[in-house]
Structure 1
Amino acid sequence: MEIRADFALEEQLEGIAAETAAPEVKEAVAAVLTHLRSGKGRHRRGGQTLVRLLEQARLRASEEDEWHVVRLLQDSLDYSTGRLLRPSFEENYRLFQEGKERNPAHRDFLASTANAALGFWEEQGRRFLREHPDATANELFNYFVGLREDLPFLQAPADQPGRYKIVRGSAEMALWLERVLRNRVDVEDPAEAAGRIAMSPEALKVLAEDENGQSLLKAAELKRRAASITELRGLSEDPAATEHDLQRALQTQPWIFGGQFIRTAAHRRLVSGDEVDIPLLRADGTLHLVELKRAMGARALVKRHRNAWVPTSEVHDAVGQAINYLVGLDENRQRIREEFGIETRRASALVLIGHPALHPDLAEEDLNQVLRTLNTHTNRVEVLTYAELLDSAERSLGGIPTTA
């Protein structure tokens, strides 16, 4: 990291020296100025020594309870280490520069930058509305959000000097690549590597077309998924794990629930008073709710009744809650489609609850069969244990081991 040492910093430190009354602080600030002015010729001296001396001066000011000086010295540190930008630094400390007016260049630069940015967003908004004349305000807003996420991956085509191109979907591609590369021990910075690849059409093309590259990405993704299942098994078998713990682990893994789900919806509160644990979307935009209950922390899932096993009230209450969610979605279908672009007419729900280990005297297959019988009578709601869900997800990996 380059340490900044310049005239603006020197002027500010001179102002600090005049602000402090404590001799120890004055001496510490003087030591900073002596070092700063010890450069050759007109150059000021920085380096880690400057940072260390500023930190020592800040400590002395705190010991003397000169907290306004502590703040000023902290700004000096932030400026020298690049955390505070030069225009802000110079504007804030005009009070140490006798008779100096505010720099109009800073105002003009901010105005021109804001004007150019607003012009860009205006043009993008007009273009979107020309292509989608019936778009809602929320759809336009989401379009802007997507553009903002893709902006860091701006491309500069070599055959179009002075022109730049925003490739839609670059942010999503980079995020996916980062998650894959994070399993590669030889990639030092997965996020940086993913961003570099996503910004390079050539790199993506080579990776996608090369047989070894495809195998590498597929193997890395399978490895990540196998590791996720192992982690989730451990969590589902932990009696102390809460619904929130399970939700946090599952909400970024839509593939676990089946290949028909492409992603998790951004909004969990679609109906007033109801907040869905995990909202999944199918390829056709249809919603599928996942209602999470505790795994090993749940009460019994089945009980004996007239020589047969039947679900307990724990299961029936969870199913009832899911059904109420679906009723709310049905009643608000039009608004949800217009506001969020989500179809709820054919929405369904999955209740994840309990673990076979809660019933050590009952075979796991027998427990699953009781729940499957219930599922045949509930139509839009399915009930599974965490173990059955993870077993199914593991089978989808085609034999990739999930344990070391």
Structure 2
Amino acid sequence: MEVRADWALELQLKQIDDIASREEVKAAVNAVIAHLNSGSRNRRGGRALLTLLGDARYEAATADEWQVVRLLQDSIDYAEGRITKHEFEERYRLFQDGNVRAGGLLKLTANVLSSACELAAREGRMYVEANPDASVQEVLAKIQSLGEDARLMVAPEDTPGRYRIIRGSAETALWLERVLRGGRVDVEDAHDVASSLAVSPEAMAVLAADTEGKLLFRAAELQERAQGLKLLRGVIEDPQASEHDLQRSLQGQPWIFGGRFVGEAAHRRLVPGDEVDIPLVRGDGALHVVELKLSMRLGGVLVKRHRNAWVPTSLVHDAVGQAVNYLVGLDENRERIRREFGIETRRASAVVLIGHPALQPDVPEEEINETLRTFNTHLNRVEVLTYKELVDSAERSLGGSLNGAGVSEGSS
């Protein structure tokens, strides 16, 4: 995700600094402004900007300056792209030439509205000419359906400069979206998928032959998961892969960790000073922290011999200790996290992904896995897995699904 950092954000932060009353809040806001201006040429953004904004919001909440908290939340939403530039500038009246800017937007809006009305009038006349006995309600319904179809407008490659509205595409897309959302098919964003399929003759031809539509969508989803798992395996076996590489390969794939997770939380920095690698949300709304360590670049082994038995090394114990510290911080900040982010941390748990059996070729893989499983039985809210065991488990689960859907893992 690209973090937005520009003059508009800086001006809004200066307004917040004027409103803030407590010195610690002002200092936190000024730290954000200083970061913005620390770039060599352009304003500096990045993950550090979001972290500093989160710190400033926390200071404001601690000081009970709730107006500042709300303003800083707008700053975060703008930096993350959830508020448009025009809306942000108008909301805070950031520029002295606001009337000029508003005038430009007003003219644009007026032109668009005028063109839309002309289109509606033309289509209405054509419909009445073809159906002279049509009632007013029928004409209005026809124009309304045109507006719904217009949302799925396409730009054909064979007619540059021309656009096409496919009649009935909105109704088809609505049917598809209901099918996808109805529980028969698991797709991440039903609206986007349905919109794309509604204007694709090839996809619609396949759907027409499959009245349920389940096989097509399920196979596509499983094929995508298989490809993602293949890429992930390559990363965990790469001796040069960093934690960032591992995190990037795992993000957006909560299914790998099991079916009890419904997705990833939007915020990674829930406690000051701590940023979790991957925050998952369980079906009951509770948080599950994924703590990532290196795989093939770990720089040590996972188990060692102690009194004729295999036991985890200090690398494993240190990683577990870090995960436990995360959980303690989440417990201590439970009320604030639930209030600000809507995430329940009371029943939070964690999994530590660390190492690869190939780091110890002289120790059987099953011995390593069994040692970690025994270790896990003595832990309460933390589980330790090697990257290979996680991927193998996900692959077994996916393999059964692929066979059930009639999809070949090797197909492309």
Instruction: State the TM-score, normalized to the length of structure 2.
Output: 0.52
For 1:341, the equivalent position in structure 2 comes to 342
3-state DSSP of counterpart to 2:217: helix
Does the CA contact (< 8 Å) of 1:300 and 1:312 recur in 2?
yes
Partner secondary structure for residue 399 of structure 2: coil
User: Aligned to 1:393, what secondary structure does the other structure show?
Assistant: helix
Q: For residues 214 and 317 of structure 1, do their structure 2 counterparts lie closer, same or farther at Cα, with a shift above 3 Å needed?
A: same
**Matches of 1:343 and 1:370 in 2, distance apart?**
32
Show the 5 A alignment for 1:3-402: 106=104, 108-109=106-107, 158=142, 160=144, 195-197=195-197, 210-211=210-211, 213-298=213-298, 299-399=300-400, 400=402, 402=409
Q: Distance in 2 between matches of 1:283 and 1:104?
A: 45
Structure 1 residues 111 and 292: alpha-carbon distance in aligned structure 2, compared to 1, 3 A threshold: same
Give the CA deviation at 1:213: 2.3
Cα distance in 1 for residues equivalent to 2:326 and 2:309: 30
Larger-gyration structure (1/2): 1
1:346 aligned partner, one-letter code: R
Displacement after TM superposition at 1:197 (Å): 3.6
Residues 130-154 of structure 1 deviation map (CA, whole Å, 9 limit, x = unaligned): xxxxxxxxxxxxxxxxxxxxxxxxx
Look up the SS of the partner of 1:270 in the other structure: coil
Cα distance in 1 for partners of 2:105, 2:253 equals 47
Structure 1 residues 300 and 159 mapped into 2: Cα distance closer, same or farther (>3 Å)?
same
User: What letter matches 1:263 in structure 2?
Assistant: G
1:333-376 deviations in Å (ceiling 9; x for gaps): 11111111111100000000000101111111110011011111
Q: Distance in 2 between matches of 1:104 and 1:216?
A: 48
Q: Distance in 2 between matches of 1:107 and 1:224?
A: 41
Residue 109 of structure 1, CA deviation: 2.2
SS in 2 for 1:398: helix
Q: What is the RMSD of the two structures over their aligned residues, measured on CA atoms?
A: 4.0
Inter-partner Cα distance in structure 1 for 2:290 and 2:198:
32
CA contact (8 A) 1:262 1:282 kept: yes
**Residues 359, 108 of structure 1: CA spacing in aligned structure 2 closer, same or farther, 3 A cutoff?**
closer
Amino acid at match of 2:287: L
Counterpart Cα distance in 1 of 2:251 and 2:259: 15
Cα displacement (A) at 1:237: 0.8
Q: Please tell me the residue identity of whatever aligns with 1:329.
A: L
Aligned partners of 1:107 and 1:384: how far apart in 2?
Answer: 55
- Distance of aligned partners of 1:324 and 1:192 in 2 relative to their CA distance in 1, 3 Å threshold: closer
Q: How far, CA to CA, are the matches of 1:158 and 1:307 in structure 2?
A: 81
Q: Helix, strand or coil for the counterpart of 2:330? A: helix
Distance 2:251 2:379 in 1: 24
- Amino acid corresponding to residue 381 of structure 1 in structure 2: V
SS at match of 1:397: helix
Amino acid at match of 2:218: K
- Summarize the Cα distance change of 1:108–1:244 in structure 2 as closer, same or farther, 3 Å threshold: closer
Contact 1:208 1:214 in 2 (8 A): no
**CA deviation digits over 1:215-264, x for unaligned, max 9?**
01111111111121111111111110001000000011110000111111
Alignment partners' CA distance in 2, 1:346 and 1:193 = 34
Identity of aligned residues (%): 62
* Distance verdict in 2 for CA 1:106–1:390, change over 3 Å: closer
Whichever residue aligns with residue 268 of structure 2, its letter is: R
Q: Which amino acid aligns with 1:278?
A: I
2:405: which partner in 1? Answer: none
User: What is the number of residues matched between the two proteins?
Assistant: 243
Change (3 A) 1:361 1:336: same
Quick one: structure 1 residues 208 and 309, their matched pair in 2 at CA, closer, same or farther if it must change by over 3 Å?
A: farther
Shift of 1:385: 0.3
* Aligned residue identity for 2:261: F
Q: Partner amino acid for 1:232?
A: L
Give the superposition deviation at 1:382: 0.2
Query: Alpha-carbon deviation of 1:196?
Result: 3.2
Q: Tell me the distance in 2 between the aligned counterparts of 1:282 and 1:247.
A: 19
Map Cα deviations across residues 182-236 of structure 1 (whole Å, 9 max, x no partner).
xxxxxxxxx9976434799xx99x9599446210111111111112111111111
Any unmatched runs of 5+ in structure 1? 1-101, 114-155, 182-190
SS in 2 for 1:221: helix
Distance of aligned partners of 1:106 and 1:263 in 2 relative to their CA distance in 1, 3 Å threshold:
closer
The alpha carbon displacement at 1:275 in A equals: 0.3
Letter of the 1:336 partner, please give it: I
SS at 1:310 equivalent: strand
Q: Secondary structure at the match of 1:241?
A: coil
* Shift in alpha-carbon separation, 1:244–1:159, aligned structure 2, 3 A: same
Runs of 4+ off more than 3 Å: 102-108, 110-113, 156-167, 191-200, 206-212, 398-404
